[in-house]
Amino acid sequence: RLQLEAPHENSIRRRIEALNDYQVTKARLGSKAAIDKFKAAAGSFPNADYPLAYVQIDHTPLDIEIVDDEFREAIGKPHLTLAIDVFSRMIVGYYLSLEAPSTTSVAMCIASCILSKKRKLIELDIDAEWQVEGIMDSVHTDNGPDFRTNHISKACLKYGIHWEYRPIGGARFGGHIERMLGIVNLEMHVLDGTTFSNVQQRGTYDSAKQACMTLKELEYYIVYWITKVYHQKKHSALGTSPIVKWEEGVWGTKTTAGTGLKERVSDEDTLFIDFLPEFEATIQRTGVQKDNLFYFADCLRQWVNSIDPEDNNRKRKRKFLFKRDPRDISQIWFYEPYSNTYFKVPTAKREIPPISLFEYKQVQNYLKSERQDVQNQDEIYKAILHLRDQLNQARSLTRKQRRSNQRKKENAKAITQLSEQNQSKKAVVSESLQTSDDLWSTPLTAFDDLR
């Protein structure tokens, strides 16, 4: 044994502080964690040298509980799909929904990226500039199944969009969008109803009880923050704000040429439909059948019982391409092969109201449980109305119960107040004369931490 004196703890601390963050992270968490954290620095993404060269897309559940529009009761956490331009760090598109991330989320986000934001800003009544639109050169995502679908690949091919997937184990290549999603969630932590990032941060805070924003109100907040705060604020990795970096890339600087504005998409409706989920089906005299729903319109008549032109035996029925929006399956879009145009096709039973695929699956389950014909369009229609009526009744009863509970609380308060009034008048007067704890004598700084 060398009998050396152990170093003082301050000496050890100084040695550790002298190490760079990469070395510390590598020693504590391993090489992969260090690479993922530090090797996604600004400018490290190859070929992202101009606006819309590369757009990264990803999803996240937001750290906030929202309320329903009618009773303003907590209904859970929404999901955000976000797209960021790697060159400028501008947010180029988004999709906010209560549904879990899916191919629909991806399709809606891509459409948001490409199309003008003016309609959305007017809808939300936000006076801001968000002049970011046009077809990106490449989209970069992780390897999730919601990003690996044939219909999205076909749509990208049609519009000349190159789709790249993050290498397996290469989380560092998605650092820009992941960091952006983290920043958005930090914004959620200052709002009423936040769930924070974990249980330790949340503590005893009752997120559901404090929730107060509807989905539309949260969307307003997010878009306002994107356009009025994030885009305008200096980005540490860029040395300027995302909006300035974007404009430099588009219009050029004293030393670099700009790309100019991207050409606008002439047919926005077609682009939107192109990215929707699709299916193939034959056209019968009863129309088109999908998930036990029948659809029919005049545009289908000439194609009824068509034979597949590639079948030499002239027996196989021809299948046609259809598009469907899972948020409303009361209609589909028929891709007419001669004109290369989409035609809207409603349900054969016109009375069937707009209904999401999620709600429709509940209708089918109900019909099965009642041993009803799941293909009978009249029964489907009746089941939709019945289940919606049940839901409205349940909501009404829930509201009455909440009102009853509130009335009990108010009555309890009144009884307590009457009881207190029966106490000594002198004590009441004496207490009212105390000024040391009076509200108006409290320093304003005492309220700084109150929400």
Mean pLDDT, rounded, of the chain: 85
CA dihedral in degrees (157, 159, 161, 163; nearest 10)?
-40
> How many CB atoms lie under 10 A from the CB of residue 149?
17
**What does the alpha-carbon distance between residue 55 and residue 364 come to, in Å, rounded to a whole number?**
39
CB 180 within 8 A of CB 80: no
Predicted confidence at residue 450, as pLDDT, reads 42
Is the pLDDT at 435 greater than 50? The verdict is no
Each residue's pLDDT tens digit, 217-274: 999 999 999 999 999 999 988 889 999 999 999 999 989 889 999 988 989 999 999 9
Phi, psi of 91 (to 5 degrees): -80, 120
Higher pLDDT, residue 206 or 380? 380
Strands 79-85 and 54-61: antiparallel
pLDDT for residue 54: 94
Those residues with Cβ within 8 angstroms of residue 173's Cβ, 6 or more apart along the chain or in another chain: 40, 45, 140, 166, 167
**Residue 447 scores a pLDDT above 60:** no
Question: pLDDT > 90: what percent of the chain?
Answer: 59
110: Cβ contacts below 8 Å, ≥ 6 apart: 57, 83, 93, 139, 152, 155, 275
Please, which residues have CB within 8 angstroms of residue 196's CB and are 6 or more apart in sequence? Answer: 63, 189, 202, 205
What are the residues whose beta carbons fall under 8 Å from the beta carbon of 234, sequence distance 6 or more? 240, 241
For the cut 70, the answer to whether the pLDDT of residue 398 exceeds it is yes
Residue 49 in contact with residue 85, Cβ under 8 Å?
Answer: no
Q: For the residues 144-169, what does the mean pLDDT come to?
A: 87
**Is-contact 346 295, C-beta < 8 A?**
yes
Confidence class for position 174, pLDDT limits 50, 70, 90: low
Structural domains of the chain sorted by starting position, each given as residue range(s) with its CATH number in brackets: 1-38 (no CATH), 46-267 (3.30.420.10), 277-353 (2.40.50)
- The pLDDT of residue 70 is 79
- Could you tell me the pLDDT band of residue 146, with boundaries at 50, 70 and 90? confident
- Which pLDDT band, with edges at 50, 70 and 90, does 451 fall under? very low
Q: What does the pLDDT average to over 97-109?
A: 92
Query: What does the pLDDT read at residue 306?
Result: 94
Question: How many residues in the chain?
Answer: 451
Cβ partners under 8 Å of residue 127, min gap 6: 121
Has residue 427 got a pLDDT over 70?
no
CA 303 to chain centre: 39
For the ranges 248-262, 346-360, 387-401, which has the lowest average pLDDT?
387-401
Q: Is the pLDDT of residue 441 over 50?
A: no
